[in-house]
Amino acid sequence: MPKQRRIVASACGLGLFLLVVACQPLLEPAYDPLRQQVSEFAHTDAGPIVLGGFLAWGTSLLLLAGLVVQAPPSPVGGRPTRVEAVALFAAAVGLIFVTCFATDRGVEVAGAVTHRTVAGHVHDAGSAAVLVSILVAVAADALRERSAALACIVISAAVASSAVLFALGDPLPGLRQRCLVACACLWQAVVLWRLWRRPPTSA
C-alpha cells in the first residue's frame, strides 16, 4: 500500500476511535464520561462499539509503526526510529488486551471496582502498557526528529491534567483518562500530518 494511503488509513482509524469516545454519552445516556472511563462502556448494551473503537486505534498505531520504520533515516541514527516503532507496536498489542479482557470497573457500580478478576487485571496491564508505550514513542520521536517541542507539549499537558485532578482527590477519573487519551491522539495526529507533508522522494 502506498505511503499516502497508509497515512490516510491510520488517520481514519484514529478518527474512528475518537468518534466512538465522543459519542459514548449519546449512545448510552446513563453513561457519565466525566466519572466513567472509556472501557467501562463495554458493560453497556452498546459495548461492542467501544471494542471496535479500540481495535481501530490499535490498527492505526500498527500502521504508524510501519510508516515510522520506512521514514527517512534520522540524523541521530536508527535506534530512536526502532524504539519508536517497537513502542507503537507494543501500544497496539496493549489495546488488543484492553479489547479482549473486560475491565472490572463499572461492572456493578459506575466508576468503581467492587470485585477483582483475572480478566480485569489483564485489562489493567494492557491499559498500562498502552500508556507507557506511547510515552516511550513520544520520547523516541523527539530524538528521531531532533525536536522536543511536540513531546514537551504533549507530556506537559498529560502530567498537568493528571496532577490537578489527583490533587483534587481524582473526582473525575473519566475526565482524567480522556485527557491522557487526547494527548496521545494529538501526538499521533501531528506525527501523521508531519509524515504526510514529507515529500515521497525523501523516503
If one compares 114 and 176, the residue with the highest pLDDT of the two is 176
- Closest listed residue to residue 106, CA positions, set 36, 48, 175, 50: 36
Q: Say what the pLDDT of residue 113 is.
A: 87
What's the average model confidence in pLDDT over 54-65?
97
The model carries a pTM of 0.92
Which pLDDT score is estimated for 128?
A: 97
pLDDT of 146: 86
Q: What is the pLDDT of residues 112-163, one digit of tens each?
A: 888 999 999 999 999 999 999 999 999 999 999 888 999 999 999 999 999 9
- Domain hosting 82: range is 3-202
Residue for grid cell 471496535: 52
pLDDT on residue 179: 97
Give residue 200's pLDDT.
Answer: 58
Confidence of residue 167 (pLDDT cuts 50, 70, 90): very high
* Structure confidence at residue 67 (pLDDT): 95
What pLDDT score was predicted for residue 108?
85
- Rounded to 10 deg, the angle between the 173-197 and 118-145 helix axes is 40
> What is the tally of structural domains in the chain?
1
pLDDT of residue 202: 42
Answer whether 116's CB lies under 8 Å from 102's CB.
no
pLDDT confidence of residue 71: 81
pLDDT digits (tens, 9 = 90+) for 16-28: 999 999 999 999 9
User: Tens digit of pLDDT for each residue in 65-124?
Assistant: 999 998 877 776 789 999 999 999 999 999 999 999 999 998 888 888 889 999 999 999
